[in-house]
Each structure stands twice: as C-alpha cells, then as structure tokens.
Structure 1
Amino acid sequence: MSTWSSLYLEVTYQVLGWIAFASWSFSFYPQVILNFRRKSVVGLNFDFLVLNLTKHSSYLIYNAALFFSPEIQNQYHEKYGYDEMIPVAANDVAFSIHAVLLTIFTLSQVLIYDRGNQKVSKICILISSTAWAAALVCLIVAWPKHSWLWLISVFNTLQVIMTAIKYIPQAFMNFQRKSTVGWSIGNILLDLTGGLLNFAQMAVQSIDQNSWVNFYGNIGKTLLSLEVVFFDLLFILQHCVFYPVDKKKKVVEQRVPEGTIAPLIDSPDNSKETV
C-alpha cells in the first residue's frame, strides 16, 4: 500500500484538507444566521435545500464507506493498483457529516420562519425520489456479488448529478426576482474557497505520488469541485454585477397576507406558482 514520499507534502495535504473542511463547513452558517436574523427564508429556494440533502447524504455514504471499509478499500486497490492511496481523507468524511446535519437544520428553519408563497416543487420531489429509488435498485444489484466499490461509485455519481442540479433553482430564482436578497453571499465565498482548496489538496497528493489517478479514481470529488467553482462564480456575478443590492432603497419582499402560511409542498391547484 502506498505511503507518502514527502513529509512536507503530507503535512500540506492535511492542512489544505482541513482548511477546505472549515471553508465548506462554515459556508452553511451565513445562510442559517441570515434566516435567523430575518426570521424569514424568503429568497432561499427550497428545492435547493431538498436536492442539497440528497447530494450530501449520497456523498456521506461514499466518503464514509471508502474511508472506513477495508473491503471496499481492497476493491479500490484491485481496480486502481495497490500503490495508489485512497482518495478520501478524514476531512472529507467530517465535512459530509457536518453538511448533512446543517442542511437538515436549515430545512427546519423553513418550517418555522416566514416563507412567503414559496414551496417545494413537484419536480424537485420527483427528482429526489427517483434518485433514491435508483440507489435502492443498485443496492439490490450489488448485494449478491458484494460489488461495494461499484455501489458507492453510484452514490458518488449521484452526488455529482445532484450538485449540478441543486444550484439551478436558486440561480433561476435570483434571475426571476432580479435580486439575491435572502441568499447569503458569505455562503458562496466560503463555498468557492473550499472548492479551490479541494483541488489544491488533490494536486498535492498527485505530485507526491507522481500519479493523477486520484483525480479520476475519485472523479466525483473532482467534478464536485469544478461544479462548485462554476456556480459560485455565477452567484457572485448575480450578487455583485447583475443584481447588486441598492442599500439606499428598502427591499420589498413578497410575503403572504398576515395570518396565513403557504403550504410547504406544492399542490396541484398551485403548481403554476412554483418557483
């Protein structure tokens, strides 16, 4: 089994990994704090949250399984070579656990704070349900032959797909409202930092091992970082260039009449109002 050739690069790898963990983990808090201060989640797309939970749950399954299971690690080495290092670090597992918990907490804010007329769309529910149904089918297929590496690779692919999809409702909602009010830019800046550091961490491992296998051996992590950088740059453009906040004007938020609360899940009668 491969070991580090350079102590300096090993330390650098760990430092970059935990800074990335901190950046990505802290990226959840600006939105949580913003929701708390406003006592409102208007402007935060609920489809994003639901898809985000599916994404992070899938990523947690992949990271934890590959990091903790000797059997899956052996299958990885059989496929990519015994001289290759496992492409999942402790900070990846820690981040995934934290991300699932914070996403659940943010969803709980949706239940207690003013949400205007926003709802979870039927399309979002369909996508999430289909994803988990497909994962269940793959589990049934993998079970007889113990094809665990293939199975967790399915979850890794699933999280990549969910990452690509989850940002679209929020980006489109910002476009429709011509505003990013209610969507924390602090979240985006920290998220972007984590994505860039993630790339740097993988590059350090590749330099030490003189191999780029970890980039395609954990293609999900590679694509995740690419997607994060792309969408975060888009959100920064929306916030700073396309729809800058005019602090001299009061921002009028769309709210439901006092004393009423819109249903959280879209109903057939209100499907046309879904974001």
Structure 2
Amino acid sequence: MASWNSFPLQVTYEALGWFAFFSWSISFYPQVILNFRRKSVVGLNFDFVLLNLTKHSSYLIYNASLYFSSAIQNQYYKKYGYGEMIPVAANDVAFSIHAVVLTAITLFQIAIYDRGEQKVSKISIGIVSVAWLTAAVCFFIALPTHSWLWLLSIFNGIQVFMTVIKYIPQAIFNFLRKSTDGFSIGNILLDFSGGVGNYLQMVVQSVDQDSWVNFYGNIGKVLLSLVSVLFDILFIIQHYVLYPNAKKGSKWVDSSEQDEQVREHLVTPDQTAQENV
C-alpha cells in the first residue's frame, strides 16, 4: 500500500479535502433555509432535486463501498497496482452521507411547501427509473463472480451521468423565467468552492505520488469536479450578469398576483365608468 512521500503535501491534501467537504456540505443549507423562510419552493426546479438525490445516493454507494470494503480494495489494487492509494478519502464518505440526507430534506420541502403548478417531469422520472433498474440488473450480473469493483464502476457511471444532466433543468428553468429568484446563489458559490478544492486535492495526491492514476482510476470524481464547476459558473453568470435585476416579482412568479389584480378589477368597477354612469 502506498504512503505519502511529503508530509506538507499530505497535510495540504487533508486540508483541501475537508475544505471541500465543508463547502459542499454547507452548500445544501442556503436552499433549505430559503425554502423554509419563504414556505415556498417556487423557483427551485424539482427535476434538479430528484436527479441530485439519485446522483448522491449512487455516489454514496461508491464511496462507502470502496472505503470500507477490503475485498473491493483488493480488487482495486489488482487492477491499478498495489503501489497506488485508494482514491476515496473519509471526507468523501462523510460528504456523501450528508448530501443524501440534506437532498432528501429538500425533497420533503417540495412535498409540503407551496410549489405553484410545477411538477416533476416524466422525463426525469424515466431517467431515474432506468438508472436504478440498470444498477439492479448489474448487481445480479456481478453477484456470481463477485465483480464488485466492476459494479461500483456502474454506480460511479450513474453518478457521473447524473452530475452531467442534473443542472440542465435548473439552468433552463432560470432562462425561461429570466430570474434566479427562489434558487439560492449561496448554494452555488459554496458548491463552486468545494469543486475547486476537491480537484486541487486530487492534484496534490498525484504530485506527491508522481502518478496520475488516481485521475483515471476515479474518473467519476474528476468529472464531478469539472462539470460541477462549469455549471456553477453558468449559474453565477445567470445570477449576477444575465438577470441581476430580476426581483421577486418576475413574470413567472407574479402570475398569481396578476390574476388577483384582474379579479379585483372585475369585482370593483372602474372609477371612471362609475362617474360616467
């Protein structure tokens, strides 16, 4: 089993790992708090939350299995070499557990708070169903030969795929509304910080080991960081550049207020019309 060659790099690795953990972990709270204060989830895309829950659940299975299972670790060493380090740290497992819990809480908020006319799309339900059905089929394929590392690669693939597509519904939703109201920018800024920290953590490990195998040995983690950072930049641009003046009274959100004004106008005769009579 590989060991660290440089103590300063080891300390830097651990520091970056926990920085990413705290950034990513805290990033879930702004949205939860915003939903709680508004007693509404209008502005938060439900497909984003559902896909995110599937993503973090599959990522938890991958991280926890590779970190705790000695059998799977042996399979990893046989494939990539006994001189390599397991590319999953304790902070990865802790983050995954926390992410699943907080995303589930957000989904619960969607069920109890005002959500307007928005619903989870059939496309997202279909994607999630196919993902878990694929995982179930692959489990029974891996069972006879105990090909657990291969099975984990399937879960890793699922989380990578979900990472790639999960942001798309929210990005389109913001574009259609011409507003990011109801979608917490604090979530995005912290997520961006965590993604950069996570990527730098892997770079530090590669520099110390003089090997980049942890990148292609854990391609899901690499794509997780890169894709997340790119979409975070898009959301930051939407919030601060494209729709900086979009207030809580955007057309999409204000439709109910406009309807109320119309009803009031119908109930209360126009003052000019009364004077003419």
> Corresponding residue for 2:271?
none
Query: Contact 2:24–2:191 at 8 Å: present in 1 too?
Result: yes
Shift of 1:250: 4.4
> Corresponding residue for 1:218?
218
The alignment-based identity, stated in percent, is 70
Structure 1 ranges of 4+ moved more than 3 A: 249-252, 254-257
Question: In the alignment, is residue 234 of structure 1 matched against residue 234 of structure 2?
Answer: yes
> Corresponding residue for 2:204?
204
Aligned partner of residue 182 in structure 2, secondary structure: coil
> Corresponding residue for 1:19?
19
Structure 2: segments with no counterpart, 5+ residues? 258-277
Structure 1 Cα separation of the partners of residues 148 and 70 of structure 2: 11
Q: What is the 5 A alignment of 1:155-174?
A: 155-174=155-174
Change in Cα spacing, 1:29 to 1:87, as seen in structure 2 (3 Å) is same
> Corresponding residue for 2:268?
none
Identify, as 1 or 2, the structure richer in helix. Answer: 2
Structure 1 Cα separation of the partners of residues 164 and 249 of structure 2: 33
Query: Contact 2:178–2:246 at 8 Å: present in 1 too?
Result: no
Letter in 2 for 1:119: K
Letter in 2 for 1:105: I
> Corresponding residue for 2:117?
117
> Corresponding residue for 1:264?
none
> Corresponding residue for 2:267?
none
Structure 1 Cα separation of the partners of residues 32 and 255 of structure 2: 20
Structure 1: segments with no counterpart, 5+ residues? 258-275
1:178-237 alpha-carbon deviations (Å, 9 max, x no partner) = 110000000000000000000110011001101000011000000010100110000011
Letter in 1 for 2:115: R
Aligned partner of residue 75 in structure 2, secondary structure: helix
> Corresponding residue for 2:184?
184
Shift of 1:8: 1.2
Q: What is the 5 A alignment of 1:33-72?
A: 33-72=33-72
Structure 2 Cα separation of the partners of residues 43 and 13 of structure 1: 37
Shift of 1:6: 1.2
Shift of 1:245: 3.0
Query: Contact 1:116–1:255 at 8 Å: present in 2 too?
Result: no
Aligned partner of residue 66 in structure 1, secondary structure: helix
| TM-score, normalised with respect to structure 2 | 0.90
Structure 2 Cα separation of the partners of residues 97 and 107 of structure 1: 16
Structure 1 Cα separation of the partners of residues 208 and 71 of structure 2: 25
Letter in 1 for 2:156: N
Aligned partner of residue 119 in structure 1, secondary structure: coil
> Corresponding residue for 2:270?
none
Query: Contact 2:24–2:194 at 8 Å: present in 1 too?
Result: yes
> Corresponding residue for 1:153?
153
Structure 2 Cα separation of the partners of residues 172 and 202 of structure 1: 31
Letter in 1 for 2:99: A
Structure 1 Cα separation of the partners of residues 179 and 80 of structure 2: 47
Letter in 2 for 1:94: A
Letter in 1 for 2:171: A
Structure 2 Cα separation of the partners of residues 117 and 229 of structure 1: 31
> Corresponding residue for 1:10?
10
Q: Which one has the largest radius of gyration?
A: 2
Structure 2 Cα separation of the partners of residues 129 and 154 of structure 1: 15
Letter in 1 for 2:91: N
Shift of 1:255: 6.3
Q: RMSD of the TM alignment (CA)?
A: 1.3
Shift of 1:11: 1.1
Structure 1 Cα separation of the partners of residues 32 and 122 of structure 2: 25
Paired residues, number: 256
Change in Cα spacing, 1:74 to 1:14, as seen in structure 2 (3 Å) is same
> Corresponding residue for 1:245?
245
Aligned partner of residue 86 in structure 2, secondary structure: coil
Structure 2 Cα separation of the partners of residues 140 and 233 of structure 1: 40
